[in-house]
Amino acid sequence: MQAWNAVVITDADRANGYPVQIANPAFCNMTGYTLEELRGRSLKMLQGPDTDPAVVDRLRRCLQQEIYFEGSTTNYRKDGSPYFVRWSISPVYDEDRQLSHFVSVQQDISDYVRAERQNRLFARALDASNDPILLMDRQFRTLFANKAFSDATGYAIEELVGNTPAMLRSDQNQPEFYQDLITTLASGQPFRGTFINQRRDGTTYYAEQSISPIVDDNGQTSHYVSVSKDISELILREKFLQRVASTDQLTKLHNRLHGEELLKLAHRAAGASGSPLSLILCDIDFFKQVNDRFGHLVGDRVLATTADVLRRNVRSGDAVIRWGGEEFLIVLENCGLEPALALAERIRAGVERQSDPDVHKVTASLGIATQSPGESIEALFERADAALYQAKRAGRNRVMTAAESRGVAEAGPQA
């Protein structure tokens, strides 16, 4: 009678529906009936529209076979309100081993069932979202991943659960990015950033992702939830537009506008580090005659092939810019005069070796200037331009440095 669980004892009289003999206060509170109202009546009185007939049928068979039963279904209180009950029934025998009673221990699990149903509803709602969603524990192990997350990564949900999102790293985000992520979340703040992740098939994608801590009743972080969006198409489109905006479409080199920015950055870096900075100005010889004699299509081809020679002969980090018309600028960071001169000579020889189908031999003149301490961009460029001008005056198809150009300029009037 003092048991916390609801307990009811029924007679084994099958013909009368196993009438109630005794019920404890917990059972009366659960059903809303008094003991007087229950005694002598069948517990069928608790069944209603949502009572599962399959469970009732299994219960009936177990009672008939005098074996243990366990199940759960919906019952109804005296006031007609439903509740979800889980119960077990055991047969009781007398001294002669004859079935005399059944004892049933019951528990109202309505709150648990409602919570489970709500959890399933939440899970279905998250699964229906088009945005990839991830639920992680404090160690960032995945507890839940929705279908959109599985589709975005190419991993089955079973492969994701139990693992951390580190399995998606492509190593294209810098270490500082992940350090910022850890520091931000450790402070209890949400983190937002663009992750470059790797799918199961090895391809990469861009995910704009927000990760937020979930706190428990004590205010301590217990879980993390991540909501992301695949922005690969947006990023690729932006990169394409950036390339279009910064690239000369004919030669595929940097265009003048972008090249000016690169030149400023290189000048600023050289000033900060004290490293040498050199410029090479390259101009195709007699290019106007090429256009006039063979037409602009041939001229465009000569420009493109010359650009290829420049691209093949510079170092990987050097900026090659179509400065205008048939003129090209090469920005050589951390490069003094001697290596710049050797590089320029390789370019000159490379252009001369090219044979155009119509023009046949094409040559180029080049001027070099290496930055002096404290020299401005404008002054440095003017010296390279002067060196190129003197290379033209000296007969073309040659390389001349800014120092040599001063000598030519000084010797010119005396000659």
Residues noted as catalytic = 326
227, amino acid identity = V
Q: Which residues are within 8 A (CB) of 144 and not within 5 positions of it... i.e. 6 or more apart? A: 123, 126, 133, 134, 135, 161
Cβ atoms within 10 Å, residue 193: 15
| Helical H segments across 155-229, by residue range | 157-160, 175-186
Q: How far apart are CA 45 and CA 39, in angstroms?
A: 12
- CA dihedral in degrees (316, 321, 322, 324; nearest 10)? -160
| Helical H segments across 314-401, by residue range | 337-353, 377-393
CB 360 within 8 A of CB 369: no
Q: Which residues are within 8 A (CB) of 347 and not within 5 positions of it... i.e. 6 or more apart? A: 280, 282, 309, 310, 313, 314, 330, 364, 366
Q: Which residues are within 8 A (CB) of 305 and not within 5 positions of it... i.e. 6 or more apart? A: 354, 356, 362
Backbone angles phi, psi at 333, to 5 degrees: -80, 150
Q: What is the H or E stretch that residue 2 is in? A: none
Which is nearest to 266 in space by CA: 174, 176, 342, 375? 375
Q: How far apart are CA 289 and CA 291, in angstroms?
A: 5
Strand pairing class (6-11; 99-108): antiparallel
Q: How far apart are CA 127 and CA 144, in angstroms?
A: 10
Which is nearest to 138 in space by CA: 222, 33, 36? 222
The SS3 of residue 306 is helix
Rg (CA), the chain: 42
Q: How far apart are the first and last CA of the chain?
A: 127
415, amino acid identity = A
